[in-house]
């Protein structure tokens, strides 16, 4: 069964007098424990549909269902709550907070998502998740001392520490070399499978497609093929 569906989602941006329809009726159906990769030329609308699906900006039309709930009818507050508790995000660059250690970034995420835990439990949870992404030996490090691949591992652990149902990733390997990209993709795939997450990932790298369960191609604001 699909946990997440996008039906005929449209998006129009207005620039002064000019209106540009960037999404012309996008349909997606995402299943638990699967990675759907969204590919297509630059400007085809991939980031726009990803951010709308993730509740980061509103659609101009269409309907989105998550876990049987119609997200398009929800208040800003309800969407904010779902984003904080049920969604995880990974972007092209890791967006780590420079003055916090790896451990502190993750504790902060647990605080933000409203997970009720004592400090000691938080630290144990952080340790567990860092082990999962192979970064437990770097828990006291600051971002500046981490390599690109290590930073992205921390970003991934931060995206999943609150046990989200959905993971949204926009070109998560774009800033990495080929070897690190594959490691990061393998990690996202492992986590999607073992934690039964539903993952939607934008990528423009052919090499990443074998890690996806479905590949959906976008062109000029429409889906050409796939899920």
The footprint of ligand ADP (CB under 6 A) covers 13, 22, 40, 42-48
- The interface partner of residue 210, options being ligand ADP, Mg ion, none and the CB cut-off 5 to 8 Å by kind, is none
- The interface partner of residue 48, options being Mg ion, ligand ADP, none and the CB cut-off 5 to 8 Å by kind, is ligand ADP
Span 20-79, contacts to Mg ion by CB under 5 A: 47
> Cβ 15 to ligand ADP, closest distance in Å?
6
Total number of residues that touch Mg ion (CB under 5 A): 1
Give the count of beta carbons closer than 10 Å to the beta carbon of residue 93: 13
Q: What's the alpha-carbon Rg for the chain, to the nearest Å? A: 18
101 vs 173, beta carbon nearer Mg ion: 173
> Cβ 204 to Mg ion, closest distance in Å?
8
> Cβ 44 to Mg ion, closest distance in Å?
9
* 36: region left, alpha or beta (phi > 0 left; psi from -120 to 50 alpha): beta
Residue 65 pairs in a beta bridge with 5, 70
Given a contact cutoff of 8 angstroms between Cβ atoms, the answer to whether 109 and 87 are in contact is: no
173 binds Mg ion (CB under 5 A): no
Given a contact cutoff of 8 angstroms between Cβ atoms, the answer to whether 189 and 1 are in contact is: no
Give the count of beta carbons closer than 10 Å to the beta carbon of residue 188: 26
């Amino acid at each position: 069964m699909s946990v997440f569906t996008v039906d005929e989602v449209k998006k129009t941006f207005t620039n002064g007098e000019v209106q540009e329809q960037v999404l012309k009726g996008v349909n997606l159906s995402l299943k638990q424990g699967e990675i759907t990769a969204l590919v297509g030329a630059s400007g085809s609308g991939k980031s726009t549909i990803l951010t709308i699906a993730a509740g980061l900006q509103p659609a101009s039309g269409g309907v989105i269902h998550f876990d049987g709930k119609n997200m398009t009818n929800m208040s800003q507050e309800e969407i904010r709550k779902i984003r904080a508790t049920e969604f995880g995000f990974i972007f092209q660059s890791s967006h780590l907070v420079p003055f916090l250690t790896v451990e502190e970034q993750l504790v902060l995420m647990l605080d933000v998502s409203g997970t009720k835990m004592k400090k000691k439990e938080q630290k144990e949870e952080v340790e567990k998740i860092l082990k999962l992404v192979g970064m437990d030996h770097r828990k006291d490090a600051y971002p500046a001392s981490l390599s690109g691949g290590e930073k992205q591992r921390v970003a991934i652990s931060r995206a999943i520490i609150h046990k989200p149902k959905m993971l949204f990733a926009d070109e998560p390997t774009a800033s990495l070399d080929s070897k690190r990209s594959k490691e990061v993709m393998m990690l996202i795939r492992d986590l999607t499978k073992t934690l039964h997450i539903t993952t939607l990932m934008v990528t423009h790298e052919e090499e990443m497609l074998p890690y996806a369960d479905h590949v959906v191609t976008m062109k000029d604001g429409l889906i050409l093929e796939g899920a």
